[in-house]
Amino acid sequence: MKFPREHVFFADFEASTDGNIHKAYNICFMEDDDDGYTSIWGSDCASKFLEALPDKSLVYFHNLSYDVTFLMSQLEEITGTPIIKGSQTMQIQGKYKGKLLCFKDSYAIISTKLERFPEMFHLTSGEKEVFPYNYYTKELVNTTKVGNIDDAMNHVKDIEAFNENIEKIEDCKIDDEHFDMEVYSSFYCGQDVRILRDGFLKFRNDLMTEFEIDAYDYVSISSISNKLFEKRVYWKNGNLFDLAGKPREYISKCIQGGRCMLAENKKQYNEGELITDFDAVSLYPSAIARLYCLEGIPKVMTEEMKSSEYLLEHLFDDDQAEPTKE
């Protein structure tokens, strides 16, 4: 069922990484039609974030699998079936105090690091990111917001840029020895959220302009691509249909996976020699281009049709035994 979204947000957590369990201490989020971001600081930032979200909100995180771990214990109920592929959580819907919320992974649609967004989408990247992640320990962030500049510098590679950022970021520098940890964290967290929002909206607008497809309605780039095929190939044809139920179950038995292996399953070392990779790519598009799709609705096979002789003579509906198109 399509999520009845009324609001769209982009968000990112910052968390302490010391110890076995990461603890969120800061979250920044912004709505798709608002240029300003909101920052929440503290160990209870996840619950306060859920409090702040309006009903029927769609929220994007870039790598939802990580960020959703801070929210799962706060949600009162998981609605529907989460969409998880391997280790990647692509979508989760839940309820919080009666509000229906949906969380999606923007990485499933734009599968690249956030740091590449400015170049990809021609965005302003902002100040160079120099963040002392290991300095923001669980004990420190729960005790104070006042950071020691000298101590923090031990956790960054570019000390000069770190000091310049403390000077540039408004209200960040307290005195010559101290800086505001919340202000510094919120600035970079907010900058990442802005880049995520601007890049995603640029991608969404391009899809709407070129293909009349709304990225908000889909979970992954694969589902977007399939919708494009539906609009421009499948439904346009007029004689292609979705398979479901028993026909789909039966035909899916023809799908076989595979893997690339070395001869006799033995490792080979070729130092200083060029290796040719014969692994094929784009097999499905290649097959579609060279052959064609069977048209019409599935037909129930009679006993006569089950013999090998009949099947070989009727591989396709037009009695074609071999493809004639290259």
Q: What is the model's pTM? A: 0.81
Measured distance CA(64)–CA(114) in Å, rounded: 13
Residues 25 and 15 sit within 8 Å (Cβ to Cβ): yes
In order, the DSSP letters of 73-95 are TT-SEEEEEEEEETTEEEEEEEE
- pLDDT tens for the chain, 326 residues long, are 688 999 999 999 999 988 889 999 999 999 999 989 999 999 999 999 999 999 999 999 999 999 999 999 999 999 989 999 989 999 999 999 999 999 999 999 999 999 999 999 999 877 778 999 999 999 999 899 999 999 999 999 999 999 999 999 999 999 999 999 999 999 999 999 999 999 999 999 999 999 999 999 999 999 999 999 888 888 888 888 888 888 888 888 887 776 777 788 888 888 888 887 777 777 777 777 777 677 888 778 888 888 888 877 766 554 444 544 43
Domain edges within the chain: 1-220, 239-254+277-326
| The predicted structure's pLDDT at residue 193 | 97
Closest CA to 137 of 15, 12, 13: 15
Q: 218-250 burial by CB neighbour count: b if 16+ within 10 A, else e?
A: bbbeebbeebbeeeeebeeeeebeeeeeeeeee
| The predicted structure's pLDDT at residue 321 | 44
Measured distance CA(69)–CA(75) in Å, rounded: 11
| The predicted structure's pLDDT at residue 1 | 65
| The predicted structure's pLDDT at residue 124 | 84
Measured distance CA(205)–CA(199) in Å, rounded: 10
Helix (H) or strand (E) holding 59: strand 57-61
* CATH architecture assigned to 1-220: 2-Layer Sandwich (3.30)
Q: 262-279 burial by CB neighbour count: b if 16+ within 10 A, else e?
A: eeeeeeeeeeeeeeeeee
| The predicted structure's pLDDT at residue 72 | 93
